Structure 1
Amino acid sequence: MQETIVRRETTTLPKAPNIRHTYMKPRIAVFIPAHNEEKSIEDCLQGLYDQSLPKGVDLDVYVIADNCTDRTEELAKAFGKEYKTNVNVIKTVNNKQRKVGALNTIWKQIYGDMLDIHYTEMTEYQQVYQRSVKAILGMDADSRLAPNALKYMWEGLMSARNIGGVMAKYTMRMPKKKSKLSKDDPYYEEKIASGQYGGPIARWWTHQQKQDMASWLLDLQYRGGSTYVLGGQATLFRPEALQDIVNNNKLDAPWQYESDVEDMLLTWQLQKSGWKTLISPKARCFVDAMKSYHAFRQQRNKWSSGTVDLLTNKDIDIKTRHTGRIWRSQGKMVMDLVIRVMFIALLTVSLATDQFVWSWIWLIPIGLASVLNIILAVKTPMSRPIDVILAGLLISPELYLLVNLMTFCQVWFEKLSTDKKDGWANQYMAESGQTKSKLTQGLLLLILLITSVVLACMYFRDYLTSSVVQEATHPYLMSGWIVLTYLTIFASLIMLRQIWSLRARHTA
């Protein structure tokens, strides 16, 4: 049977009034929501253009220009014309649901709007086109697929009928050295503003996020490759699986704005419907990191808050094989917090009352943590020697953990309060520089607190080291150190298990 190959560069799903054949090549439809992404959209499209497609499969790209006030739409159209690719640009109208609304807009154009009260019969071409879409790739506009990534995800998706989605392995892009950029460059300010360049702190912060992502990916692969979140940066979905979410949950489109972690909610709903969700062992996608402390905190606040909402929301009633694991990770955060708070408190009181006794056995958990973080740093893609050294000295891991513990506490405090914040808006404002961090004020307050405690201990030293105070505090100190010892032993066993799992030849 002769094949009809469709090439188009229109802004909406094209119509074909004169159809002579009812066959169309199988295709992958790419959904790229883009809000003011003029700095990255061409790079994203270039990564798609460089892909090796599965044999006999076409690629259609849909860029959803979501409330854009920059040149995103213009640049996307120009790319499609220059490279003669199927790039279709769709503008949202009055979309207040940001990324979720943008994704649902193109979904409804292809699969119909369930909320449309006017019955519109699909044309023969639309029906054929709908059947020809065998996979949907959801991508962020600031992501770029590595060569052959799409083919690897396709192979994973088509390897079994019950696989609903396959996610690429994410790696944060390291900013180029700011020092290598000449200040005489006429585009100096523009390049700095683009985020492609950064100083030592920005590069160090990016690596911590890379290592955190690498640790998560290695853990998932060690457990068989099943994931509890198909990240929106680059995931290939089976259309039937997404349609199941729509039908089973009585939705008008798969993605839901009610959750701060729409990709995790969608993944859980896929698993509830019987679909497998996996990560590809070979496909890689390069994504942008949060290059500032403030933007990172707002992003993690949104992620953590959304995760906690899913875990505690009885109305959602979704339980997957991963729910217990996420609760255990929450418990581990509590244990990490308690261990550090107890250690600082016990150490402070012991030194102030002259009851501190050093024990060499304390080096065991420190040594295990050092070995674990060295292995993770080495297994992190494109790691630098300085990153491995700082990981071994536990400087970087402890600072990064401290920030995550602050986020953990903030999320649960907000959960227990009635003040519900818009995680989407907070993250966007932080990334665009509309809000500022209170890190400087916090550090000054911490320094003031430490200085006050030290001066107070020095001033009242004679009283604090008296036998009366020592006898009164000794039983509490002993009980505290015993509890801390048991917690540290348990944490050490967890680290041993992680070190053992990292012997596997998985790559991040």
Structure 2
Amino acid sequence: MQSSIEGNRQAQVVVLIPAHNEESSIGATVQALLSQERVPDRIVVIADNCTDGTVAIASALRHQALVVTETRNNRDKKCGGLNAAWRRYATDADIVVCLDADTVLPPNAIGDWIEEFATDPGLAGSSSKFTMRGTAFLVRLQRAEFAKWTDSSLRRGWTSVLAGTACAIRNSVLHEVVRTHRRYGPWLHASQVEDFELTYRIRELGYYCRVSPTVRAYTDAMTTVRALWGQRMKWQVGTVEDLIRFGVNRRTLLDWRQQAAGLLAASVRFGWIFFTVLYAALGILHFAPFWFFVPLLFIANDVKQAMRIPHRDRWDIVLAALLLPQEAFAWMRACWFVAAWAEVIRSRITGTRKDRWTMQYAAEAAV
């Protein structure tokens, strides 16, 4: 049974912030919450196996709404921390906000989320429009990628994944998920993409989730190819594993189409290399002027999409117009699509499975 959310004063909002060695960012993340136009009723920093100054920095902020808790004997990493904190601090909340420890919300976020749930009883979850901070080459490419994802989700009016970077969820629906699937908590560590799995379970119950039209979040991006590869392999492998588990149905059709499109794009790219080399070896490769037409179309499309990037500058447009940076990123995407599917197939044959949670943590720690 859904709880009543009638306005900014009545709704109880609890923010859960899982943090693993986040001393460089946790202060700004919490300060942004304390500066909200509507401050959350409780802010829970979940220090999970931290070996740095995360706990000390968060505790020093001292606010009546702030709770800093440390996990003990938690083997389920982010999911374990979230579930323990949810059971201890958020069971009576109306809205639960999940926020990464390197993410900053603008002042309107909490109030706007409350208003969204108050005016739309069928809404179960609202994801932020998240934007990567920084000016590095790799960061700009990721910012462009997620600007495109945001626009697509907003046009569609719903999303199949509530991004754990920053999202708000109706707590009565989380309770319903726990009861229906007899779980310890809403987040399932057995899934390597717990946000996608939870969103599917929410939608399975008949609710819908969307990207907020007004709430933006500013977060860190992967700054090295190794960290980016670790992140995306975890996402892609986990998504494929969960889709196979869920099967093909009306709730997964979009995601299956995206997987098919990704594999098709990879096939086209690798096929282009193969046939180019083959024709050159056979001496039948000849240049034709119309070859320039396709790259020009790609450039025009990339520039058009770059114009939609939040807080863009001229370098975002230049990167899009150069074509090669976007092409390099597309090749990397093709590689992790193929590598992830190969890993899942191999895992199903051999019965072994890589711990992508640990591998991503290791990749990020090496930055």
Within the candidate set 135, 141, 146, 1:213 is matched to 146
What is the CA deviation profile of residues 52-85 of structure 1, one whole-angstrom value per residue up to 9, with x for unaligned ones?
11xxx852111112122222222212102xxx34
Within the candidate set 127, 134, 142, 1:167 is matched to 127
Within the candidate set 286, 300, 303, 2:218 is matched to 286
Within the candidate set 336, 349, 356, 2:265 is matched to 336
TM-score norm. by structure 2 comes to: 0.92
- Contact (CA 8 Å) 2:266, 2:335: kept in 1 or not? no
- Contact (CA 8 Å) 2:266, 2:338: kept in 1 or not? no
User: 2:335 maps to what in 1?
Assistant: 406
Distance in 1, matches of 2:278 and 2:249, equals 44
What is the CA deviation profile of residues 29-65 of structure 1, one whole-angstrom value per residue up to 9, with x for unaligned ones?
1111112211111100011011111xxx852111112
The answer to whether structure 1 residue 103 and structure 2 residue 82 are counterparts is yes
User: 1:375 maps to what in 2?
Assistant: 304
1:293-332 to 2 correspondences below 5 Å: 293-313=225-245, 316=246, 319-321=249-251, 323-332=252-261
User: 1:40 maps to what in 2?
Assistant: 25
User: 2:281 maps to what in 1?
Assistant: 352
Residue 111 of structure 1: how far off its partner (Å) = 6.4
1:104-123 to 2 correspondences below 5 Å: 104-110=83-89
TM-score norm. by structure 1 comes to: 0.67
Which structure has the higher relative contact order (CA within 8 Å, separation 6+)? 2
Residue 359 of structure 1: how far off its partner (Å) = 3.2
What is the CA deviation profile of residues 240-273 of structure 1, one whole-angstrom value per residue up to 9, with x for unaligned ones?
0101100111112111100000000000000001
User: 1:155 maps to what in 2?
Assistant: 115
Within the candidate set 330, 347, 364, 1:431 is matched to 364
- Contact (CA 8 Å) 2:126, 2:168: kept in 1 or not? yes
CA change 1:247–1:275 in 2 (3 A) is same
Within the candidate set 81, 88, 99, 2:67 is matched to 88
AA aligned opposite 2:142: Q
Percent identity of equivalent pairs? 32
Within the candidate set 230, 250, 266, 2:162 is matched to 230
The answer to whether structure 1 residue 269 and structure 2 residue 254 are counterparts is no
For residue 79 of structure 1, give the secondary structure of its aligned residue in structure 2: coil
Within the candidate set 58, 75, 79, 2:61 is matched to 79
Structure 2 unaligned blocks of 5 or more: 1-8
User: 2:16 maps to what in 1?
Assistant: 31
AA aligned opposite 1:159: T
Structure 1 unaligned blocks of 5 or more: 1-23, 113-129, 176-202, 435-508
For residue 119 of structure 2, give the secondary structure of its aligned residue in structure 1: coil
* RMSD of aligned Cα (Å): 1.9
1:136-151 to 2 correspondences below 5 Å: 136-151=96-111
Residue 360 of structure 1: how far off its partner (Å) = 3.5
Distance in 2, matches of 1:111 and 1:333, equals 38
User: 2:44 maps to what in 1?
Assistant: 62
Q: 4+ residue stretches of structure 1 with deviation over 6 A?
A: none
- Contact (CA 8 Å) 1:153, 1:167: kept in 2 or not? no
For residue 310 of structure 2, give the secondary structure of its aligned residue in structure 1: coil
Residue 352 of structure 1: how far off its partner (Å) = 3.2
1:176-191 to 2 correspondences below 5 Å: none
CA change 1:110–1:79 in 2 (3 A) is closer
CA change 1:330–1:40 in 2 (3 A) is same
For residue 214 of structure 2, give the secondary structure of its aligned residue in structure 1: strand
- Contact (CA 8 Å) 1:157, 1:236: kept in 2 or not? no
Distance in 2, matches of 1:95 and 1:155, equals 35
